[in-house]
Amino acid sequence: MAEVTTTTAPSPDDGPDPKNPNNPGPVYLVSYPKVVFLYPTVLAAMFGAIFMWFNKIGADAEAAVIPGRIFLTVLLINLVVVAFDFPRTTSLTWFFATVAVVIGLWTLFRLNANLIPWVTAQITKIRPAANASFYVIFTLGMMGLFLVVIVSRRFDYWEVRGNELLHHHGVLSDLERFSAPNLRIDKEINDVFEYLLLRSGRLILHPSQERRAIVLENVFFINQKEERITKMLGALQVRVRTDNH
């Protein structure tokens, strides 16, 4: 997914100009993989580790079922979010389908009173359990993976300035430059759940004199970033028109 930050070096272009509030300063875009959306599962694993430690039930399989069920439920839902895209139309379809299933099950249970105890008994037979070590190892492993992803993204990112688009990539910080005055940007939110998790979406950049568009998937806080870039490019167009008079 992509992340936008501002630089901290003491340069006139690194932040908003106090004399010109229309200039928001440079914007950095970093594209992240979808693995970052698994952070709810990591939080569930952290809860499991804390639950097992503070209650001192590492050897109590009965009580260990509680965090086990929570962890597996969050993991399953999280994997569905990562594996599939849920656009607005598809999400509405799934919502109404879920409502229809719930109404159907409610009707079924109402007509068959003996079915509820049987279903409850079958569900209670599912008793997943794990000790604190499992949750700790899973949490540390995922956090290590997140750290590797963050570090790797520092070697491949885009910088949007008022008059140019820069692509920094490689260990030695190779640089590509594109003209920004005629830059056109498109925003797409292809997955409602990914947007809810990290306010992410797809940002498409169309530099002038470039045949192919630059597609950045999973841009964090995409609405704010699009607004900053649009404001920057709009301020540049105003300055250009003023200079021509």
Nearest to 168 by CA among 38, 52, 7, 35: 7
Helical spans, DSSP H, in the chain:
39-54, 61-83, 88-111, 115-124, 132-153, 192-198, 222-244
Q: Which of 108-122, 126-140, 182-196 has the lowest mean pLDDT?
A: 108-122
pLDDT greater than 80 at residue 187: yes
122 and 188 share one domain:
no
- The overall average pLDDT reported for the chain is 77
Q: pLDDT class for 83, splitting at 50, 70, 90?
A: confident
β-strands 174-179, 164-169: how paired?
antiparallel
162 and 219 share one domain:
yes
24 and 9 share one domain:
yes
User: What is the rounded distance in angstroms from the CA atom of residue 198 to the CA atom of residue 212?
Assistant: 27
pLDDT of residue 40: 95
DSSP-derived 3-state class of residue 26: coil
48 and 132 share one domain:
yes
Contact status, residue 206 vs residue 183, Cβ threshold 8 Å: yes
Bridge partner list, 156: 169
pLDDT of residue 15: 47
16 and 43 share one domain:
no
pLDDT greater than 50 at residue 32: yes
121 and 211 share one domain:
no
Average pLDDT on 164-193 reads: 81
Number of domains in the chain: 2
User: What is the rounded distance in angstroms from the CA atom of residue 104 to the CA atom of residue 233?
Assistant: 53
Domain span including residue 189: 2-36+151-244
